[in-house]
Chains A and B, each alone.
Chain A
Amino acid sequence: MSTPRGVTGSILTSSTDGAAQTATAPFGHALVRAAEKNPRIVGLTADLGKYTDIHVFADKFPARFFQMGMAEQSLVGCACGLARTGYVPFATTYAVFATRRAYDFIAIGAALGRANVKIIAGLPGLTTGYGGTHQGIEDLALMRSIPNLTVIDPCDATEVAQATQVIADHDGPVYMRLLRGVVPVVLDEKTHRFEIGRAKLLRDGTDVAIISTGLMTGRALEAATELAATGVSAAVLHVATIKPFDRDTVSALLARFPRVVTAENHVVTGGLGSAVADLAVEAGLKVRLRKVGIPDVFCESGSIPYLVKHYQMGAPDIAAAAREVLR
């Protein structure tokens, strides 16, 4: 009998990476908690309320929730207008639609105008098997180049929840990637504290540094465990804020580790790996760097495990990259 056939599935296949612990709709519930404290928080979506977890907020605060229909320019523009009347709007859609369809509205309405708008972007990178139309593979590169904008790629349910509260309290435009549905818990909510612009050393080491962002941090920690079993000591630095980039922490780490792997749920052009490489060159540091991420292609559709393996985005691939830079 042949192995079972992998199935692409729906747009919204929760990818829990086999996590021992998970949380459901961490963004939606965190937004409700933030909104209970701050009556100026409002929510909007472009026909994706159910699929971006903001339905939890909409059910609780129907008068503070605005359905904008399938119209992402209107979604972002309207959020900016609400911000200009003193509200704190959270606008949700998929990363591909926010950044590809509403780019000018984020750049001019939100960022140039410094509107206090939070854009929450679902299906980042390979979190859907639905193919190139729905996989937000280059959003960080696009958003990172916009002045004034804060760009966040949280790692897990703990960080999604913490970051939701933090950006609600932060005055300024934010683009945050969303992990929705059933989301792995990687970080301990008692010890981890998300701060805008601060990278966190989650594990120290002596041989190689793994610098990761978003859900790749969970896999980086797995890779470090796997490497330790073979006698390789890997540090893991989690860079949840892509912009403003924590240059101090990253350059201090690069100064300690000439052998570096970056890991991002994003194309390897223009994202975290590029930021690290820029910094190393600017600081005059000689590093051997290997970037783990989506290659410069639009991805196939397929099941998440198939895609992660196919594009070499798993924990074993990070470990292999570490061994390669150590060779």
Chain B
Amino acid sequence: MTTLTPAADLRQIQQRAHTMRRHVLHMAEIVGQGYVGQGLGIADLLATVYFGELRHDPKNPAWPDRDRFVLSIGHYAIGLYAALAEAGIIPLAELDTYGADGSRLEMSAPETTPGVELTGGSLGHGLTQSVGMALGLRLDGKSARVFNLLSDGECQEGSTWEAAMAGAHHGLENLFAFIDCNNQQADGPPSKVMGLEPLHKKWEAFGWHTQRINGNDPAAILAALAAAKTVPGRPHAIVLDTLMGRGVPLFEQREKNHFIRVAPEEWAIARSQLGEAAP
């Protein structure tokens, strides 16, 4: 037996987030493009979850009593791979293969990769399956929990709300949904594509214990998780306002940055900007 909640403190979490951002830049530079904005923007959440909350066993990713981290948004894989490598679930060196032909680290995370609970990418699936996992774990009397990462755009999929109803109806207090609001979907900001706000009030109205926080602040994420765990009988929504490209001002300021195209000479600037932001 096995790993429990990693007892990383805030400073360690911030350092992990920084290292994960380096991995994200490294992977994106090799393929020359990609979801680098998402990977940078979600690093604080992933570092906090993997090093401050998630009970798992890096040597045995299929440990039946593990907490599940379910990535709905398959294109955030670049961020997840950085976390899986930092956590020791996949080798660091394998990150060099991100997006390459024949690699396990596909641009959208496949469940055949260790540590990937299910194949996301077709948005609106993750929460429906997370409800089933949470029901199954509860039926088994296990204390394991399910953490689903969704995006703001994904809340336009009707199935997300089918699952939200089900999570509340079945009283799944072992179910946590992180909703990443980076305010950027394929065709632009949700307010122009299909308005979602007030998003946290929608989750509240669906019966979830809901908090809205700065998703780039690990201390706020830890505090929200602690608060959520005091509320019994309901699933927990934590709506995260995040900044795409966080940590690299060049990308933070880029418009239309759902899928960033980066000029070859810009990677050195990005690396240098991230270095300056080290905690």
B166 an interface residue at 8 Å Cβ cutoff?
yes
Given A69-B165, A71-B162, A85 contacting B122 (CB threshold 8 A): no
B125 pairs with A82, CB closer than 8 A: no
CB closest residue in chain B, given A70? B162
Task: Report A204 CB to chain B, min CB distance, Å.
Answer: 46
Among the 9-residue stretches B16-24, B126-134, B202-210, B265-273, the one with 4 or more Cβ atoms under 8 Å from chain A is B126-134
Task: Report B127 CB to chain A, min CB distance, Å.
Answer: 8
Task: Report B201 CB to chain A, min CB distance, Å.
Answer: 21
B117 an interface residue at 8 Å Cβ cutoff?
yes
A142-186 vs B, Cβ < 8 Å mask (1 yes, 0 no): 000000000000000000000000000000000000000000000
A56-93 vs B, Cβ < 8 Å mask (1 yes, 0 no): 00000001101011010110111111111111010000
B158 pairs with A80, CB closer than 8 A: no
Interface centre among B124, B137, B163, B166 (most CB of A within 10 A): B166
B57-69 vs A, Cβ < 8 Å mask (1 yes, 0 no): 0000000100000
A23 an interface residue at 8 Å Cβ cutoff?
no
Task: Report B29 CB to chain A, min CB distance, Å.
Answer: 30
Given A78-B129, A81-B129, A105-B125, A73 contacting B158 (CB threshold 8 A): yes
B169 pairs with A84, CB closer than 8 A: no
A87 pairs with B136, CB closer than 8 A: yes
Among the 9-residue stretches A107-115, A191-199, A286-294, the one with 4 or more Cβ atoms under 8 Å from chain B is A107-115
**Which of chain B's residues 150-171 have a Cβ closer than 8 Å to chain A?**
158-159, 162-163, 165-166, 169-170
A92-112 vs B, Cβ < 8 Å mask (1 yes, 0 no): 000000000000110011001
Interface centre among A77, A82, A86, A105 (most CB of B within 10 A): A77
Task: Report B206 CB to chain A, min CB distance, Å.
Answer: 12
Given A66-B135, A86-B136, A105-B159, A81 contacting B128 (CB threshold 8 A): yes
- List residues of chain A with CB within 8 A of the CB of B9: none
- List residues of chain A with CB within 8 A of the CB of B118: 80, 84, 109, 113
A68 pairs with B119, CB closer than 8 A: no
**How many chain B residues touch A (Cβ–Cβ < 8 Å)?**
29
A42 an interface residue at 8 Å Cβ cutoff?
yes
- List residues of chain A with CB within 8 A of the CB of B166: 68-69, 71, 74, 78
- List residues of chain B with CB within 8 A of the CB of A112: 119
A84 pairs with B128, CB closer than 8 A: no
B1 an interface residue at 8 Å Cβ cutoff?
no
B94 an interface residue at 8 Å Cβ cutoff?
no
Task: Report B56 CB to chain A, min CB distance, Å.
Answer: 15
CA–CA, A81 to B111, complex, Å?
13
- List residues of chain A with CB within 8 A of the CB of B169: 69
CA–CA, A123 to B135, complex, Å?
28
Task: Report B149 CB to chain A, min CB distance, Å.
Answer: 15
- List residues of chain A with CB within 8 A of the CB of B128: 73-74, 76-78, 80-81, 105, 109
Can you list 5 A-B contacts with CB-CB less than 8 angstroms, sorted by A residue number?
Answer: A69-B166, A74-B159, A74-B163, A77-B128, A82-B136
Binding site for B on A (CB under 8 A): 42, 63-64, 66, 68-69, 71, 73-74, 76-87, 89, 104-105, 108-109, 112-113
Binding site for A on B (CB under 8 A): 64, 111, 117-119, 122, 124-125, 127-137, 139-140, 158-159, 162-163, 165-166, 169-170
Given contacts A73-B124, A105-B128, 20 further A-B contacts (CB under 8 A): A64-B139, A66-B170, A69-B169, A71-B159, A71-B165, A73-B162, A74-B159, A74-B162, A76-B128, A77-B125, A77-B132, A81-B135, A82-B133, A83-B132, A85-B137, A86-B136, A104-B125, A105-B159, A109-B128, A113-B118
